Every structure is written in C-alpha cells, then in structure tokens.
Structure 1
Amino acid sequence: RAARHEASGALWMARSQVGRAQRALAQAQLAERAAEDIAARTRSEYDAVIRQVGSGGASVMATLDLLDRIAESGMSAIMARLDSRMAVAELWRLAPPELPAADTDHQHPRANSP
C-alpha cells in the first residue's frame, strides 16, 4: 500500500513536470513569434526614424527607444526559450537509470572458487 501511494505520488510529479515543460515550450514559441513581429514592425519604424533624423525631424531618443524595444522583445524570447529548455532538462530526472548489460561471457566469481 505504501509503495502504491509512493508510485502514485511519483506519477503525479512526473505528469506535472511534463505539463510544465509543454507549457514552457508553448510559451517560448509564442514569445519568439511575438519578438519576430515586434522586430519586423520596429525595423520599419526604425528606417522611418533614421530618415527623419537625417532631415532633422526626429530625435535621437526616438531612435534609441526603438532599439530598446527591439532588444527587449528579443530578450523576452531568449528568456522564454531558456525556461523551456530548463523545464525539458528537468525531465531527465524522470528517466530510469541505465543499467549495465549482463555479461554472459564471464561466470560469477564464486562459481569458480573451490
């Protein structure tokens, strides 16, 4: 009974970790897509601001703000990807240890003793 209870707890924990990893992977994909969208939009804004800076119409602060937004969105995607990789890496603890293969060529040492 105690073994069944312990196995049930281990199974619940394993399912919980797998679910966390799946959610982290999905979140990372969403963050990467959002970062790509933001980067595409801000690149076109950046081009427009650079043209305005050249003609004296936009400030350097506007340019720096756009660069900051690009960097923040990229960093958000990187952090989400890191979180998902850590969650997947934690799943290795659930894998059973690899046992050495049985050596059939050698007999047990005591079998040869007198």
Structure 2
Amino acid sequence: MDSSLCCLKQPRDFCCISAESKQEEQFVLALRSVYDEALPRPGRELVRGEVLPSAWVLQPDTQHRKEVTKVVYMTQVDLGTPALPQRLLGFVAKRQAMVIANLASFFPL
C-alpha cells in the first residue's frame, strides 16, 4: 500500500483471504484478514493492518432506461498503530468513493 496517498508515515501490510461468488447476474467478493503462524510476519518498516469482514456486491441495474452496474460495498479496515490523525479521517473517507467511480472503466458501455 502506498502510504503517501493516505498521509501515513509507514506502509501497511495485510494478510487476507477472499471468496468470490456469482449468483445469476450478481457478483460478490467477500474478504477478511487471517492470522496464521505460517504466514510471514511484516518487516520492521511495515505495520500489519486488519481487514474486518468486508464485501463488494456488483449487480445489474437500470437507471433512466440505461443498464448500469450497481456497486454495494462495505469495507472495514483497522490500519494499526499509528493510525490516521483524526483530522484526516474525513478526507480519506471522501476519497474512498473515488474507487467506486473508477470501476466504470472496467465495465463495457
């Protein structure tokens, strides 16, 4: 993770497991952090973060008589200590929505 984009002084490391599912026209990606002694430990320059149970759901939808993809997501992340300063949390939360907007480039019109 590029920590400079999030105003963090140290990069974060995450060990996650994910599962994908397709049911009819709906795609689901669910993920969460895992802890296992067999997994490598983060280096000295990294902070191990935690992805709490999170999911992305992509569904076809129609808006204004046009086919679109509706994205429903819930992402919960504990960045570990030291975390973001309180004054930056709002800034980061607003930028997260840009991730959704950029998904449009992956779907055909």
TM-score by length of 1: 0.22
Question: Greater strand percent: which structure?
Answer: 2
Question: Greater helix percent: which structure?
Answer: 1
| Greater C-alpha Rg | 1
Higher relative contact order by CA 8 Å / sep ≥ 6: 1 or 2?
Answer: 1
TM-score by length of 2: 0.23
